[in-house]
Amino acid sequence: MPSGFIIIRDSTPLAAIPRGAVVAMGNFDGVHLGHRAVIAAALQMARIQGRPALAVTFEPHPRRFFSPNTPQFRLTDETAKLRLLAGTGLEGAVVMTFDKHRAETTAKDFIHHDLIDRLGVSGIAVGYDFHFGKGRVGSPSLLANEAPRLGIEVDVQPHVDIDERPVSSSAIRMALAEGQIKDASAMLGGPWFVTGEVIHGEKRGRDLGYPTANIRLDNNCGLKHGIYAVRVEREQGKNQGKHQLRFDGVASFGRRPTFDNGAPLLEIFMFDFEGDLYGATLDVAFISFIRDELKFDSVEALVARMDEDSARARAVLAADPEAFPKLGVINSA
């Protein structure tokens, strides 16, 4: 198998697909602790069998296909999901296009054609609630029943609980919508993060003594508007000389009610940083919620509160200096 975390797509030639892999199968939005239990089961099975371990996932998310007009707050877009999967110890991911053809494929055809004939899997790990195939007829029990005849091993992982509450992507979305960053981080197994390109803003922060790097998040982002302690990484260098520069900071996500009450924008003030970031791509990890977004009666009152916010963010980040999602590097097949 090629070195690095490879991505296998529907267009990947059969000769480039490693045969006999063990796969962890799921949508993996967020790659949370429940997903990681499935991945850990696949890794263990692969070690015992002496096989490679891959993820099998679907893009776009099936919800997007079945409800195209319903806003979907994804915890991770495709790239973020693959980077998280690459940080788990898996050797690659099979990204299956979820379209009309796949939606109409029966569960048994999916098992035989996609998993056995095309991938040649030797084992499958899934979560207890994973369903697949036309009408969502495919289930962990169907996989387990088919396994002996197909000569493969199937591992079904139970739900993962924190404080007697099941971990799920929906629960994490709700936590982020309520500003419960610590709860979201606990369920994810690390901080939630976004990636975006720095764009030009109104440059008000520069005049206030708080120059910010501004990023426009997805329109469907359901993160609570407010002030956050954040940790930021920027890739520096090219090819083999690449390395990550990391900075602590404080960020505002919202509509800026003191000024224009405009479209939601993520504005990041990075501590101890000087330089031009326009056009740069940043990874921004949310470490703690500081306060709600507020409207101030004067610029002076706003700046005084920003001073307090920065001090609180510095203290929070100093107490957790290593908090950042574990991200891997993805290659194409």
CA distance 279 to 198: 5
- Confidence grade of residue 2 (pLDDT, cut at 50, 70, 90): low
Per-residue pLDDT at 260:
84
Per-residue pLDDT at 108:
96
Per-residue pLDDT at 209:
83
The 10s digit of each residue's pLDDT in 140-159 is: 999 999 999 999 999 999 99
Maximum C-alpha span of the chain: 73
Give CA separation, 46 vs 42, 90, 115, 121, 152, in Å: 6, 10, 16, 11, 12
Average of pLDDT values for 105-114?
A: 97
Asked whether the predicted pLDDT for residue 332 surpasses 70, the reply is no
Asked whether the predicted pLDDT for residue 1 surpasses 60, the reply is no
- Confidence grade of residue 238 (pLDDT, cut at 50, 70, 90): low
Sign of the CA dihedral with 132 first, then 133, 137, and 141 last = negative
DSSP state of 197: E
Sign of the CA dihedral with 260 first, then 261, 266, and 268 last = positive
Please compute, for residue 219, the number of CA atoms within 13 A of its CA located in the half-sphere on the CB side. Answer: 2
Per-residue pLDDT at 147:
95
Name the one residue in this structure whose structure tokens are 């500081």. 290
Average of pLDDT values for 56-70?
A: 93
Beta strands per DSSP E along 153-264: 153-157, 161-162, 165-166, 192-197, 213-215, 226-236, 243-254
CA angle 323, 326, 331 (to 5 degrees): 155
Asked whether the predicted pLDDT for residue 4 surpasses 90, the reply is no
SS3 149: helix
Asked whether the predicted pLDDT for residue 9 surpasses 60, the reply is yes
pTM score of the predicted model: 0.95
**Two tokens, residue 121:** 């899997």
CA distance 192 to 266: 14
Average of pLDDT values for 249-254?
A: 98
From the list 99, 276, 288, the residue with the least C-alpha distance to 191 is 288
Per-residue pLDDT at 201:
77
Beta strands per DSSP E along the chain: 6-9, 22-25, 53-59, 92-97, 123-127, 153-157, 161-162, 165-166, 192-197, 213-215, 226-236, 243-254, 265-270, 281-292
Please check whether residue 2 is in contact with residue 325, taking contact to mean a CB–CB distance below 8 angstroms: no
Asked whether the predicted pLDDT for residue 206 surpasses 80, the reply is no
